[in-house]
């Protein structure tokens, strides 16, 4: 008899679940994730442009070897990516 009441309770909870609120909350969560991702990609693109531009100017001004400058640039790119 107790199992029947537990099953009834579970089915009652499922049928009375507020699917509208759940859908709205899930949709808002997904939209927030997308917005955060887009903002991250914009910041990353701007940062990479600044890093690459800085190293190009640094290499032109200081007559540093291309290999050393590229290695340092890759290191800074990796650090910025994290």
pLDDT per residue, tens digit, the chain (82 aa), is 556 678 888 888 888 888 899 999 999 999 999 999 999 999 999 999 998 888 888 888 877 777 888 888 888 888 988 8
Residue 67 lies in a domain: yes
Q: Could you tell me the pTM of the whole model?
A: 0.66
Q: Which domain holds residue 68?
A: 43-82
Residue 58 lies in a domain: yes
Residue 56 lies in a domain: yes
Q: C-alpha angle with apex 78: 58 to 32, nearest 5 degrees?
A: 120
Q: How far apart are CA 76 and CA 81, in angstroms?
A: 8
Q: What is the pLDDT of residue 12?
A: 84
Q: What is the pLDDT of residue 36?
A: 98
Which tokens hold the place of 41? 């990609």
């Amino acid at each position: 008899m107790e199992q029947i009441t537990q099953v009834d309770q579970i089915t009652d909870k499922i049928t009375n679940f507020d699917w509208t609120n759940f859908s709205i909350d899930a949709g808002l969560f997904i939209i927030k994730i997308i917005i955060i991702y887009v903002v991250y990609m914009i910041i990353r693109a701007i940062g990479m442009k600044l890093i690459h531009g800085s190293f190009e100017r640094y290499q032109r001004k200081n007559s540093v070897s291309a290999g050393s400058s590229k290695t340092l640039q890759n290191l800074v790119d990796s650090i910025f990516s994290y």
